[in-house]
Structure formats: structure tokens, C-alpha cells
Amino acid sequence: MTRQLCCGICKKEITASSPDFPQLCIVCGREFLEMIRAVAELSIEMAAAYGINPLKEGRHNLPGVPIEEIEMRMELNRLKKNVINTI
């Protein structure tokens, strides 16, 4: 008897797993990847605002990123993707 795997986020049975995160369904995996990209972009922008180059200077403590900023960045990434797909 095989055990059915469930998504780590939405807890639904995985019918198609994410290529990047096999423990997530394809929808949650895509959204998680978008969120990670948004956080990375904002972290780089915040570091630049403080005059820090994290790639050159190593890890630094930066202020937290408000969830609203992450949501806005995710939406911008989705819009960019839609514009590119329609061109």
C-alpha cells in the first residue's frame, strides 16, 4: 500500500509536484518561489538603501521586510510575467 503525499502548505494530495520543491504541489511551489524571489529582491534593495553590498560584505542584520511589501512585490512579479507572456 502506497502512502499518499500531501502538500506541505495547502495539505491537499499532491497530484503534480513542484519541480523545485517536491514536497509541495505545483501551485504552492510556484507561489513559494515567487515569495522567495520577492524577499530576495527586497533584501537587496534594503541593503542598497543602507549602503551595504551583501554580496561583497557578507551577512548583515537588516530590518525586517513588512508582509505588505512582499505581497506587492509578488503581485508585480506576476504582472511582469503576464506582460512578457502576452508580448
Give the pLDDT of the chain (87 residues) as one tens digit per residue. Answer: 445 689 988 999 998 888 888 888 999 999 988 888 888 888 788 878 878 766 665 554 555 666 677 778 778 887 877 777 776
* Amino acid making up residue 22: P
What's the pLDDT at 1? 42
In the chain, where the domains are located:
30-86
What's the pLDDT at 52? 73
- On whether the CB atoms of residues 46 and 23 are closer than 8 A, the answer is no
- On whether the CB atoms of residues 6 and 12 are closer than 8 A, the answer is yes
What's the pLDDT at 65? 64
